[in-house]
Amino acid sequence: MSQRHIISILVENEAGALSRIAGLFSARAYNIESLTVAPTEDPSMSRMTIVTSGSEDVIEQITKQLNKLVEIVKVVDLSEAEHIERELMLIKVRAGAKEREDMKRMADIFRGRVIDVSDNTYTIELTGNGTKLDAFIQALDQGAILETVRTGASGIGRGNRILRV
Amino acid sequence: MDRVKGIELTGAEIVVRCLQEEGVEYVFGYPGGAVLFIYDELFKQDKVKHVLVRHEQGAAHAADGYSRASQKVGVCLVTSGPGVTNAVTGIATAYMDSIPMVIISGQVPTYAIGLDAFQEVDAVGVTRPCVKHNILVKDVKDLAVALKRAFYLARTGRPGPVLVDIPKDVTMHSCEFHYPETVAMRSYNPVKKGHAGQIKKAVQLLLEAKRPMIYTGGGVILSDAAPQLGELVRQLGFPCTSTLMGLGGFPASDRQFLGMLGMHGTYEANMAMQNCDVLLAIGARFDDRVIGNPAHFAQNPRKIIHIDIDPSSISKRVKVDVPIVGHVPDVLEEILKIIKSAAQRPDPASLGAWWGQIEQWKARNCLRYDRNSKIIKPQFVIEKLFEVTGGDAIVTSDVGQHQMWAAQFYKFDKPRRWINSGGLGTMGFGLPAAMGALLANPGATVACVTGESSIQMCLQELSTCKQYRLPIKIVNLNNKYMGMVRQWQQFFHGNRYSESYMDALPDFVKLAEGYGHRGVLIDKPADVEPALRDAFRRKDELVFMDFITDQTENVYPMVPGGKGISEMILAEDL
């Protein structure tokens, strides 16, 4: 049965590492739902979060194949245990005189923040797990959405669960 | 740290010095604009010898053949753009069979990268899916470390090809040269020793087995584990089979050897695989050409122990009960130690009954063919080749029917004698690989078993053979068809031989002569042995033997694609 997994990777911050990982997923026909990457506190290393889906066998192969890549330092399937997942969304919505109030209230309900304003738009920043962001989009009048930017999920283990070298 | 101050060298000098430091004997290559400075440095020294091929595919295959025949890292050197794209087939071939190789490719100068310069191609991008690793060196200061790493990565863990892409200006710039003595990479630490608990479990299963089977692959050859494997098989008294890549890991003439398994494996090997109760897989990967349909394979219950250096090879196509990740010889030694100290032995009655069953399967004589044929049978040529060379030749092959017949009928008793492209299945591999194998083993008897279609794919290397006086014996099984394609078309496409017939073949005798070699045409069974004897007596000559063989012959047994390993078509069925 196909299940959603969130995989965390520590990788050498080297040119080409990202394309090697993306290439592995396409070459072996693995799914990528989202992929985020940025350097860690140690600039020589990047942390990557990949959301993928597959059967248990496929996920096992994904982690093994990732581990085989020479630049990858560590791989952890965060979904194996308690973890926290967050995604950031920037969404620009129509907010003319008559929608302004409603739109602000809706952002408040989802604990979003209006971070930019023009005569007829709001730009709202919203953080949460993917389902919360989905719910916000669903809650809006679809015609009011002008632009959506999502980062994809980042994840971290709960409590003392630490991924580092 | 007390460090001797290094000398100042150019990038090109550094490349050559690194090759010398690594003890590289031969570089197979072809010059071009981006590597001119490296070639200039090669010219100025004589420690590292260069073999000039006629096409970069030949360079990669020759370096590959050199490695397979010697266990050393093969090295090839190509220029940017078409130089590296031509080599890609050879690199992918090495990758699929886990052959340690370092490919040095020239690149346009750093300031021209990305500007669609003349002979520019993104070598790192093009080769990414078919190398173990690749590195673009943008600064001469990183060059020595990159090359050191390349050799280290190529030969350690699961071996494979590593490409180092060097822009032309990097070969011109200079810096202080230190060749690092060791490599430390926090991201790369291949496991060596197997897990002790797992090894104990494995031994317990082996000693309790009633219908055991040992299945070995290319990992045994690559890790030089033949001595340990031989001891283990004999200690246990179990039957043993090998994949196409594993042949020679256990002596083929031994009575415990059941022959090759898989799509064209023997009846007894495939039946034993399907019906065993404990399977020990060593350096093999249960691929589609070996166990066929995994669902069919899983119908019979059995416990599987799998030893492999690469965790991703374990439980990829077939679920395994006892995985052991480690260097094969080390793990086998641990297993042997425990077996020797154990009081228990496999139950002789069960083992006897199992061997009785295997003998019955063997009695089907699945490799039989018509020995009274008036037309030369390809199998007969290989049998005679085995006899004439005393089973002691290094045999390379191309891809197709001739490859399978060579694997079935030449009994390989030693490792690194059978050199073929198993994973990628590259036609054109045989001749350049034979060049590399012969250079790795000067004076050895080297035969290239090929077909009229395959040989034409890297034919230009006959010229290289002339230049370097490589007395390879080419055994061309000429049936005027792409035999394996024709066989599939006969079996699965209603005898419609679409584009598998070669209508305008060259006169191979004249062709060989044109390249300065000896060519012989053999079209009668009675002439096969004399022709082979004559050819192998000619120690200094390349002899191209063009055997006109039966066009209708097929490779049996055959497991059709998608079928189970025990669902074989045998010659007797038709």
Contacts of B187 in chain A (CB under 8 A): 11-12, 70-73
Distance (Å, whole) CA B299 – CA B564: 10
Contacts of B320 in chain A (CB under 8 A): none
Nearest to A79 by CA among A102, A57, A56: A56
The Cα-based distances of B227 to B236, B249, B333, B437, B439 in angstroms read 14, 8, 10, 22, 25
Contacts of B152 in chain A (CB under 8 A): none
Query: What Rg do the C-alpha atoms of chain A give, in angstroms?
Result: 19
Contacts of B323 (CB under 8 A, 6+ apart): B198, B306, B308, B311, B314, B315
Q: How far is B95 from chain A (nearest CA, A)?
A: 14
pLDDT at B191: 85
To the nearest whole number, what is the mean pLDDT of chain A?
A: 95
Q: How far is CA B2 from the centre of its chain?
A: 44
Q: Does A150 touch chain B if contact means CB atoms closer than 8 Å?
A: no
Crossing angle for the helix pair B56-70 and B430-440, to the nearest 10 degrees:
50
Q: Which residues of B are catalytic?
A: 56, 118-119, 168, 484
Q: Which residues pair with B162 in a beta bridge?
A: B102, B133
The Cα-based distances of B287 to A9, A143, B184, B269, B402 in angstroms read 28, 52, 33, 16, 21
Contacts of A26 in chain B (CB under 8 A): none
Contacts of A12 in chain B (CB under 8 A): 187
Q: Higher confidence at residue B458 or residue A99?
A: B458
Residue length of chain B:
574
Closest chain B residue by Cα to residue A62:
B312
Q: Does A15 touch chain B if contact means CB atoms closer than 8 Å?
A: yes
| Subunit contact A23:B128, Cβ cutoff 8 A | yes
pLDDT at B6: 78
Q: How far is A21 from chain B (nearest CA, A)?
A: 10
Q: Does A72 touch chain B if contact means CB atoms closer than 8 Å?
A: yes
Strands B303-308 and B322-325: parallel
| Residue whose token pair is 């099984």 | B477
Question: Quick one: tokens of A101?
Answer: 């109030």
Contacts of B340 (CB under 8 A, 6+ apart): B235
Q: Does A29 touch chain B if contact means CB atoms closer than 8 Å?
A: no
| Subunit contact A70:B133, Cβ cutoff 8 A | yes
| Subunit contact A61:B312, Cβ cutoff 8 A | yes
Percent of chain A scored above 70 by pLDDT?
100
DSSP summary character for residue A82: -
| Residue whose token pair is 């395959």 | B454
Closest Cβ–Cβ partner in A16, A27, A71 for B187: A71
Closest chain B residue by Cα to residue A26:
B129
Half-sphere exposure (CA, 13 Å, Cβ side) for B399?
14
Q: How far is A71 from chain B (nearest CA, A)?
A: 6
Give long-range contacts, CB 8 A cutoff, 24+ apart: B297-303. Answer: B297/B273, B297/B564, B297/B565, B299/B564, B300/B274, B300/B275, B301/B277, B302/B276, B302/B277, B302/B278, B303/B205, B303/B277, B303/B278, B303/B279
Q: Does A70 touch chain B if contact means CB atoms closer than 8 Å?
A: yes
Q: Does A11 touch chain B if contact means CB atoms closer than 8 Å?
A: yes
| Subunit contact A16:B136, Cβ cutoff 8 A | yes
Q: Write the DSSP assignment of B464-477 as a string of letters.
A: HHHHTT---EEEEE
Q: Cis link prior to B557 (omega < 30° from 0)? A: yes
Mean pLDDT, consecutive 10-residue segments, chain B of 574 residues?
71 98 98 98 97 98 98 97 98 98 98 97 97 98 98 97 98 96 93 94 97 98 98 97 98 97 97 98 95 94 97 94 97 97 93 98 96 96 98 97 98 98 98 98 98 97 98 97 96 95 92 98 98 98 98 96 93 75
Q: How far is A83 from chain B (nearest CA, A)?
A: 24
pLDDT tens digits along A119-155: 999 999 999 999 999 999 999 999 999 999 999 999 9
Q: How far is CA A113 from the centre of its chain?
A: 19
Closest chain A residue by Cα to residue B157:
A68
Q: Where are the beta strands (DSSP E) in A31-144?
A: 34-39, 45-54, 72-77, 83-94, 113-117, 121-128
CB-defined contacts A:B, below 8 A: 36
Contacts of B131 (CB under 8 A, 6+ apart): B91, B95, B103, B160, B161, B162, B163
DSSP summary character for residue B4: P
Whether B71 contacts B40, CB under 8 Å: no
Whether B396 contacts B433, CB under 8 Å: yes
| Subunit contact A70:B315, Cβ cutoff 8 A | no
Interface of B with A (CB under 8 A): 124-125, 128-129, 132-133, 136, 153, 158, 185-188, 310-312, 315-316
Contacts of A19 in chain B (CB under 8 A): 125, 128
Question: Quick one: tokens of B267?
Answer: 């009846």
pLDDT at B2: 41
pLDDT at B5: 63
Distance (Å, whole) CA B538 – CA B388: 13
Q: Does A68 touch chain B if contact means CB atoms closer than 8 Å?
A: yes
DSSP summary character for residue A98: T
Q: How far is B165 from chain A (nearest CA, A)?
A: 13
Report helix, strand or coil for B19. Answer: helix
Closest Cβ–Cβ partner in B128, B187, B188 for A19: B128
Q: In this structure, how many other beta carbons lie within 10 angstroms of the beta carbon of residue B289?
A: 17
DSSP summary character for residue A142: G
Distance (Å, whole) CA B337 – CA B228: 11
Question: Quick one: tokens of B78?
Answer: 């190509």
| Subunit contact A20:B128, Cβ cutoff 8 A | yes
Distance (Å, whole) CA A74 – CA A83: 17
Q: Write the DSSP assignment of A45-57 as a string of letters.
A: EEEEEEEEEE-HH
Distance (Å, whole) CA B180 – CA B147: 10
Contacts of A23 in chain B (CB under 8 A): 128-129
With b for 16 or more beta-carbon neighbours within 10 A and e for fewer, the B106-135 pattern comes to bbbbbeebeeebebbbebbebbbebbbbbb
Q: How far is CA B335 from the centre of its chain?
A: 27
Contacts of A65 in chain B (CB under 8 A): 312
pLDDT at A165: 85
